[in-house]
A and B are shown apart, each in its own frame.
Chain A
């Protein structure tokens, strides 16, 4: 395999801020309410301590975005198959075009 623009692979670095954006959670805040009377039913027993990276939000969406990024980078890199070179043939040999026109009837001149 060979790449026409190998430097485009650097665009994969964009995955880092993407993943970070998905892992980021707004800081959970404290809220003043008129009364706790109605909210006791949804009261937790302890402070939630789950770490953000243990379960990123919208996991499917993150995977799809990462796949799209990888696809874009691969398109930019322009990978192509180079198995002919691996068999010891030079590029000129491969690209040489031999035209045999003996059998082609020629128009008589004059």
Chain B
């Protein structure tokens, strides 16, 4: 897949907004649910043998005669997981849906890594296995880009199993799943439920190309599914086009409604738009990214 590396540096002034308390093991600048060392006081707890004596609040000890240890909110990084669908259906459109998705994923990785939020990236749904890379800072960005550039959408793999394997390894504070969602209804619903269960507020970015929005079916006798090889004879004519458009609107509305019901942030990423438009538009409005001046 193709990634425009030069365009990535434009987004380093942004950072990912934390949907809740950060949970990464890596120290960072975001408030976490963990208690320990930090700057912001959280609570007291009784002294246990082995605790650092510097944390004992001696004023309280002399007043009450009980040794209490001060606890602070630990500051951690945001753990980010990015999943890109590389099934054969992403190999369509101009620009290709896969390239658009790769650029989007690379942009989000750059935004996260620029602020030392660790990123785990996985390409799921294709024939190739083991398309997974991890980075904790910008030094690891080339590895993520290399993964994206060597991955190609081909065939159809078990997206659900691959996603389970990816999401089962460690927690995620931010999960972004980039896909065209052209799976059968039951499979798509299982994927969405899996995303919803893996992270407090996951994001699904729905990649849509002109082939879906306004397919050119003139003089086409039959269509062949790129993933399954199934064939359909199609009707031609205005009624068929009107029926398709109506069905498309219903389908999109259904997917969006299902995502909302599961607590998933749903965003459309049409390939006709640019990544910059998406970042500064829906991602910014959806409070997924923020300027550096914003709070954690």
Shortest Cβ gap from B244 to chain A (Å): 5
CB-CB under 8 A for A41 and B219, given A34-B89, A34-B92, A34-B180: no
B60 sits at the interface (CB 8 A): no
Shortest Cβ gap from B258 to chain A (Å): 15
CB-CB under 8 A for A36 and B232, given A29-B221, A41-B244, A42-B243: yes
Shortest Cβ gap from A25 to chain B (Å): 8
CB-CB under 8 A for A42 and B234, given A33-B211, A34-B226, A37-B182: yes
Which A residue sits closest to B252, measured CB to CB? A38
Contacts of B219 in A (CB 8 A): 25-29
Question: 1/0 per residue A25-69: CB within 8 Å of B?
Answer: 111111111111111111111111000000000000000000000
Shortest Cβ gap from B87 to chain A (Å): 9
Question: 1/0 per residue B206-223: CB within 8 Å of A?
Answer: 000101100101011111
Q: Which of A33, A39, A44, A48 has the most CB of B within 10 A?
A: A33
Q: Is the CB of B233 within 8 A of A46?
A: yes
CB-CB under 8 A for A34 and B221, given A43-B232, A43-B234: no
CB-CB under 8 A for A33 and B226, given A41-B243, A48-B233: yes
Q: Is the CB of A30 within 8 A of B222?
A: yes
Query: Among residues 80 to 111 in chain B, which have CB atoms less than 8 Å away from a CB atom of chain A?
Result: 88-92, 97
Please tell me which one of the listed residues B89, B91, B215, B220 contacts residue A29 in the complex, with CB atoms under 8 A apart: B220
Binding site for B on A (CB under 8 A): 25-48
10 inter-chain pairs at a CB distance below 8 angstroms, sorted by A residue, are A29-B220, A29-B221, A31-B217, A31-B223, A31-B224, A33-B92, A36-B232, A38-B247, A38-B251, A43-B235
